[in-house]
Amino acid sequence: MKNKQNFDEPKKEYIRKSKTFRKTLLKDAPKNVDNFLQGRVIEVKPKYYIVEQLETKTLFSCFAAGRISSPHKFSNLIACGDYVRFTLDESSATEQSGLIFQVEERRTKLSRRDPANPNREHVISANNSHLLIFMSIDEPLINLRLIDRILVAAELGKLEPIICINKIDLVDFDEISDMFDAYRELKIPFFPISVAEEIGLAELYSFIKDKDTVIVGMSGVGKSSLINNIFGCEVQRIADVSEWSGKGRHTTSIVRRFEVPFGGYLTDTPGLREFALWDVSKDELCLLFPDFRQYINDCKFAACTHTHEPGCSVKLAVDKNKISFERYQSYLNIYDTLDE
């Protein structure tokens, strides 16, 4: 597949030209960068970035310099969570203003195929330790296919996944709890909660304490309500689920990293409408399903796709209920969307 990274090769630094935002003028990177500052991007605005200096925790409003040194050739230039180097913008009337001229290597990432450009990766958040997949059991209805797709992205991005199901007060959750058994068997931390009724929140907060977590989910599932509950005030604006569509309305339009009161960090992201995987080939997809791995080497054919071949150990494991049928359906669904 094109754009695929060869991990045996040393990483390269690329000089990327940053794009202008409409009529915003982006200044060239300074020639003398001996007095640079180091920071981390904590918020991505439409035209600039909020960067927290690592040593002092001071916040700076930073623009991207006209040319930026970056190891990321096929992804967005700067993402929330990126570690960056920047200089003070002496020409700005604002004291705490800077120019980002270098982006460091991303250790982990949550990314997808850019909805606006299929040949580019859209990194939603970088350098987190955990990924909190936040869904609602109803209003909007649970989407297991999307959960499995995001779990593949977690494997690719080297993030530890957590699954949280909100609005359990709307159903008899004990009757449907077994639909999540496949995730429990994978030992993925699982939290059924109700933010509205404050059910299960203590257990969730205890688990994410002192972690650096990015939260992702569909619009309307209650991410903003969760963050407001954590802080005890309306940090994020809340909107009801659209009556005519049954889908959530976007209330978070930017990516923002919060320091939470009980310890750790939480990066909030806009509600998902689509989530296409980036740089996954059909051949490697099975390796990104941990519940498949113990069976894939026992297939009759070495190049088994686990879709139609006779003697497929994965399909046999599904028939024997050793692999969840729903997980296998997710695999087939994703497989059909991937390039050769």
Model confidence pLDDT, tens digit, residues 276-312: 999 999 999 999 999 999 999 999 999 999 999 999 9
Identify the CATH assignment for 14-103 out of 3.20.20.70, 2.40.50.140, 3.30.70.120, 3.40.50.1820: 2.40.50.140
Tell me the three state secondary structure of residue 155.
Answer: helix
Which own/partner pairs from 297-305 qualify as long-range (CB within 8 Å, at least 24 positions apart)? 305/335
pTM here is 0.86
Rounded-to-integer distance, Cα 278 and Cα 296, Å = 23
242-258: per-residue pLDDT in tens? Answer: 343 344 444 446 899 99
- DSSP for 86-133 reads EEE-TTSSSTTEEEEEEEPPPSSEEEEEETTEEEEEEEEEES-SEEEE
Q: Residue 237: which pLDDT band, with cuts at 50, 70 and 90?
A: low
Structural Rg of the chain based on CA atoms:
22
Give me the pLDDT at residue 236, please.
63
pLDDT at 214: 98
Does 134 score more than 60 pLDDT? yes
**Per-residue confidence (pLDDT) for residue 46, from 0 to 100:** 87
How does the average pLDDT of the chain come out, rounded?
Answer: 87
CA neighbor of 50 nearest in space, from 272, 264, 254: 254
- Do residues 168 and 199 lie in contact, with contact meaning Cβ atoms separated by under 8 Å? yes
According to the CATH classification, is domain 282-337 in 1.10.40.50?
yes
According to the model, what pLDDT value does residue 9 have?
A: 45
Checking if the pLDDT of 215 tops 70, the result is: yes
Range of lowest pLDDT (7-11, 301-305, 310-314, 329-333)? 7-11
- Give residue-wise pLDDT tens across range 191-207: 999 999 999 999 999 99
**Sequence ranges of the domains in the chain:** 14-103, 126-268, 282-337
CA 31 to chain centre: 35
pLDDT of 170 > 80? The answer is yes
Whole-number pLDDT of residue 150: 98
167 vs 165: CA distance, rounded Å:
7
Closest residue by Cα to residue 301 from 286, 289, 290, 291:
286
| CATH homologous superfamily, domain 126-268 | P-loop containing nucleotide triphosphate hydrolases (3.40.50.300)
What whole-number distance in Å separates Cα of residue 58 and Cα of residue 243? 43
pLDDT band at 233 (very low <50, low <70, confident <90, very high): confident
**What's the pLDDT at 317?**
98
Q: What digits encode the pLDDT tens for the residues 47-99? A: 899 999 999 999 999 999 988 999 998 899 999 999 999 998 776 655 688 99
